[in-house]
């Protein structure tokens, strides 16, 4: 087999790499649009903040300064999310490719932009490279990253831990366990160096679903774009699609977090509230369950390279939520890897079966914090996780026991906004829609009418998202009233629903809604910011991250391209920067490009995963 170093796949080269990290930041412009350019054959919209109550004249100039189009702005008016009075400019009728276009409205002028024949795939590659650079237990090699300073030694190699057996913040001493797990590998979750089964679950599912969509729908362009040799990865010459290689790196960690056979652990059962600071612990046969996380005892200082992390790491007690996440993604993997690596597929299916059985035996073991040094990922309603896991196992096996669990769920065939009990928007804590997406896409034993109902419910939610788009001054398929922690992922997770609606119907409006979501993230927003590093004239540069921490210490690197900021957060403003912004900002403007602003500018695997999905979808469906 050819050596990976010989494969002609180059890392994405960002604007930072080309011009230097110390370049001056460009000033904001009053005309806001996607800073990476627009599709010549697609929708083209810009937004202008202006107090005028009557339509204004706009002109579009080409690179030579000649006027190629003109018209009147559409007065949207007062926009609650941005706090601005805005005008929308639609120049979709212009379809000639070229560089150097500029929009003008009176004295206001946009920066030059391109109209491109189709997306170039660079955003998809860079967004997926994020996961390689979050890998634990292996060195990040210079040949696979865009700049030499992004290479680093392996952190937590190996990543072995036993169960937490210290006093927690309530003073409760946990009993620990009599085993150690080697859970090396996987991705660091976010700006910290913890690894979490719950967040790993939705992130793996999203990447694998991007591939499964392309495979089931027979999309050759998408299969090639996500295929072997498409990414800058050590595994990019092994005959396996690169997106699956990356997902498998996390899957290996998830499988390693399963409690071995014959092990008894003491855990809190039910929705307990501490009495005198203590939880009631009950001994259970925990075999098959998944530990909630593997993480440091205390938060590491910022910055700290993974290889320099000296904190003691622990396994934290298994939970039903983590166990169902493992069951769901292991079942999905068993289905997708069966024609690629039957032995790995069988291993995944065995783990999924054991996890689902363990979760059914112990349905109410919740993540009850706190444990300083790692995120909680607590979830008080596991109905959606149980439905999702049953859907994945049924789609993979067709077995009656999983069909019974599936049909018994109140979420059966539900989508975010439709069904007997809507699932709510997709997030790590709201995964029911993932089950319906799988049932709507993957062949299974469901009746044709039931598959049609699953699709109809997803299409109905996509229609609701388009309605939200029409109600926003910045024309994005998301409506507040508040913007939550990780709001950019909230926007992009809606693209998954819009995307499948387009796949199932061919109706272009759903794809246009997906374009609007990416336009918002890449610059068409009131801050005139691209929230993706390395893309656009004013990209995010200072994430809350322990290694990509140049702002905190010049000895550390700036981030690579393709990293998504969590984005505006008007609801959880607890960090040192955000706390001073309370009641001082409108939802879309509650954001600062500052490494200290962890509620606004952290990065995370479950945020970059929908960026990969959305970008790959738009690449694939461009006309």
How far are the Cα atoms of 143, 339, 548 from residue 431, in angstroms, in the given order? 36, 26, 30
Tokens of 77: 């008016």
Residue listed under structure tokens 């995010």:
540
Give the HSE-up count for residue 248: Cα atoms under 13 Å, Cβ half-sphere.
19
The answer to whether 522 and 531 have CB atoms below 8 angstroms apart is yes
Of the residues 544, 545, 575, 619, which is catalytic? 544
544 is catalytic: yes
Handedness of CA 436, 439, 441, 446 (dihedral sign): negative
Of the residues 189, 242, 469, 602, which is catalytic? 602
The DSSP bridge pattern shows strands 108-109 and 67-72 to be unpaired
Query: Bridge partners of 544?
Result: 602
550 is catalytic: no
How far are the Cα atoms of 274, 279, 298 from residue 170, in angstroms, in the given order? 9, 9, 15
Tokens of 273: 């509230």
Question: Which residues touch 213 (CB under 8 Å, ≥6 apart)?
Answer: 219, 222, 441, 499, 500, 503, 617
For residues 561 and 552, what is the distance between their CA atoms, to the nearest angstrom? 19
Query: Bridge partners of 109?
Result: 104
Of the residues 192, 379, 385, 519, which is catalytic? 192
178 is catalytic: no
Q: Can you say whether residue 358 is alpha, beta or left, with left for phi > 0 and alpha for psi between -120 and 50 degrees? A: alpha
Question: Which residues touch 583 (CB under 8 Å, ≥6 apart)?
Answer: none
Of the residues 379, 558, 593, 619, which is catalytic? 593
Name the CA radius of gyration of the chain, rounded.
Answer: 24
602 is catalytic: yes
The answer to whether 46 and 31 have CB atoms below 8 angstroms apart is yes
Question: Which residues touch 593 (CB under 8 Å, ≥6 apart)?
Answer: 529, 540, 541, 542, 565, 601
For residues 562 and 581, what is the distance between their CA atoms, to the nearest angstrom? 27
Question: Which residues touch 520 (CB under 8 Å, ≥6 apart)?
Answer: 474, 475, 476, 478, 491
For residues 247 and 261, what is the distance between their CA atoms, to the nearest angstrom? 26
DSSP of 545-577: -SSS-TTT-TTSPPPPTTPBP----SS---STT
How far are the Cα atoms of 118, 126, 210, 229, 231 from residue 121, in angstroms, in the given order? 9, 9, 14, 14, 11
Strand intervals (E) in 144-289: 160-162, 180-182, 195-196, 264-268, 281-285
Question: Which residues touch 370 (CB under 8 Å, ≥6 apart)?
Answer: 168, 169, 170, 376
Within 217-263, residue ranges assigned H as helices are 220-225, 242-256
Please give the positions annotated as active site: 192, 544, 593, 602
């Amino acid at each position: 087999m050819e050596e990976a170093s010989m494969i002609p796949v180059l890392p994405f080269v960002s604007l930072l790499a080309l011009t230097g990290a110390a370049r001056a930041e460009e000033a904001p412009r009053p005309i806001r649009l996607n800073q990476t350019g627009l599709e010549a054959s697609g929708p083209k919209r810009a937004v202008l903040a202006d107090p005028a109550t009557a339509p204004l004249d706009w002109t579009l100039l080409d690179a030579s300064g000649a006027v190629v189009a003109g018209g009147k702005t559409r007065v949207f008016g007062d926009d609650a999310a941005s706090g601005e009075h805005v005008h929308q400019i639609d120049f979709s009728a212009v379809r000639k490719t070229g560089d150097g276009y500029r929009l003008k409205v009176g004295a206001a002028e946009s920066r030059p932009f391109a109209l491109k024949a189709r997306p170039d795939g660079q955003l998809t590659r860079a967004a997926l490279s994020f996961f390689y650079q979050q890998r634990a237990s292996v060195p990040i090699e210079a040949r696979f990253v865009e700049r030499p300073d992004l290479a680093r030694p392996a952190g937590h190699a190996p990543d072995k831990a036993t169960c937490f057996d210290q006093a927690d913040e309530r003073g409760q001493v946990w009993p620990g366990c009599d085993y150690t797990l080697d859970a090396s590998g996987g991705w660091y979750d976010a700006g910290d160096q913890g690894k979490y089964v719950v967040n790993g679950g939705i992130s793996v599912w999203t990447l694998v679903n991007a591939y499964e969509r392309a495979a089931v729908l027979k999309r050759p362009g998408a299969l090639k774009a996500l295929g072997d040799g498409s990414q800058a990865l050590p595994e990019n010459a092994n005959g396996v699609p690169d997106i699956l290689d990356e997902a498998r790196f996390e899957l290996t960690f998830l499988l390693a977090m399963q409690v071995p056979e014959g092990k008894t652990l003491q855990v809190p059962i039910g929705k307990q509230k501490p009495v005198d600071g203590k939880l009631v612990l009950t001994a259970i046969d925990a075999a098959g369950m998944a530990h909630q996380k593997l993480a440091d005892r205390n938060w590491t200082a910022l910055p700290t390279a993974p290889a320099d992390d000296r904190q003691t790491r622990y396994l934290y007690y298994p939970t039903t939520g983590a166990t169902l996440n493992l069951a769901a993604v292991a079942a999905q993997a068993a289905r997708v890897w069966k024609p690629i690596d039957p032995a790995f597929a069988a291993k995944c299916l065995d783990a999924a079966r054991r996890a689902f059985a363990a979760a059914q035996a112990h349905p109410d073991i919740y993540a009850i914090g706190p444990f300083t040094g790692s995120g909680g990922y607590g979830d008080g309603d596991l109905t959606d996780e149980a439905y999702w896991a049953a859907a994945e196992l049924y789609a993979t096996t067709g077995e009656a026991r999983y069909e019974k669990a599936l049909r018994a769920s109140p979420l059966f065939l539900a989508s975010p906004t439709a069904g007997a009990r809507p699932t709510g928007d997709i997030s790590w804590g709201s995964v029911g829609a993932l089950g319906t997406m799988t049932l709507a896409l993957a062949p299974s034993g469901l009746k044709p009418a039931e598959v049609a109902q699953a699709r109809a419910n997803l299409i109905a939610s996509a229609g609701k998202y388009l309605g939200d788009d029409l109600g926003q001054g910045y024309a994005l398929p998301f409506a507040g009233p508040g913007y939550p922690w990780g709001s950019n992922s909230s926007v992009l997770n809606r693209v998954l629903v819009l995307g499948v609606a387009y796949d199932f119907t061919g109706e272009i409006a759903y794809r246009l809604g997906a374009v609007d979501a990416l336009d918002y993230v890449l610059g068409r927003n009131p801050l005139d910011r691209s929230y993706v590093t390395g893309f656009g004239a004013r990209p995010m540069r200072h994430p809350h991250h322990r290694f990509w921490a140049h702002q905190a210490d010049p000895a550390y690197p700036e981030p690579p391209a393709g990293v998504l900021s969590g984005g505006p957060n008007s609801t959880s403003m607890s960090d040192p920067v955000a706390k001073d912004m309370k009641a001082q900002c409108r939802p879309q403007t509650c954001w600062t490009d500052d490494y200290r602003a962890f509620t606004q500018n952290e990065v995370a695997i479950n945020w970059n995963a929908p960026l990969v999905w959305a970008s790959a979808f738009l690449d694939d469906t461009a006309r």
